[in-house]
Amino acid sequence: MHWIDPAHLPEVRGRVTHFLLNPHGDIDGLVLDGRRQVHTPPHLSRTISRHIAQGDRIRVRGVKPRGADMIAAIQLVTREDRVILDEGPDHPAHPAEPRKRKPMETSGEVLLALYGPRGELRGALLETGTSLRMPPHAAAELTAYLQPGAHVQAWGDGIKTRHGATIDVSDIAELIDAQG
């Protein structure tokens, strides 16, 4: 059971415009109204996938880390008023088989910087819906590449699911000609 009582947290409402995936292909967040990141723990991936769809209006209660425009969700309420509460991970006897990642390449304009649950910069969401992920130390060195409006090309291993695509970035470059 989560130690934070969600009833005492502020509520944010919005329409789901994107799902965010971790490098294993699990949902670990979503974007509301194209501008606010909501971090969700990967152990809620299946429940979120079953009960929330792109375009749904939802309510979220969570905590906002300092210095990052995102919410670390404790509770999500679906359009049907189903409550999805983070009660911590179940520890299955047999974990799911990891999905196969493959080399991927993408380019586009950064729509949103992406943060980890404690507010650490972890990557970016491109307007194509592909998320670029990297460790915090790498993201800290590449801040200019991960800000809205930047045009980038990225390479790495990734995964694509029905909810979106994510690349664990090994190389990234700014596309100078793409900027007007």
**Domain span at residue 70?**
9-85
133 within 8 A of 22, measured Cβ to Cβ: yes
Helix, strand or coil, per DSSP, at residue 49: helix
> What pLDDT does 26 receive?
93
Using CA atoms, how far apart are residues 126 and 31, in angstroms rounded to an integer?
12
In Å, how far from its chain's centre is CA 50?
17
Which CATH number goes with the domain that contains 36?
A: 2.40.50
DSSP state of 119: S
> What pLDDT does 1 receive?
46
Percent of the chain with pLDDT over 90: 81
Identify the band that residue 93 occupies on the pLDDT scale cut at 50, 70 and 90. very low
In a domain, 139, yes or no: yes
Identify the band that residue 5 occupies on the pLDDT scale cut at 50, 70 and 90. confident
> pLDDT digits over 95-142, tens only?
556 678 899 999 999 999 999 999 999 999 999 999 999 999 999 999
17 lies in the same domain as 70: yes
CB atoms closer than 10 angstroms to residue 98: 11
72 lies in the same domain as 111: no
Helix, strand or coil, per DSSP, at residue 44: helix
CB within 8 A of 95, min separation 6: which ones? none
In a domain, 92, yes or no: no
127 lies in the same domain as 79: no
Mean pLDDT of 30-38: 96
Of 31, 54, 85, the last residue of a domain is: 85
The total domain count for the chain is: 2
13 lies in the same domain as 52: yes
CB atoms closer than 10 angstroms to residue 130: 21
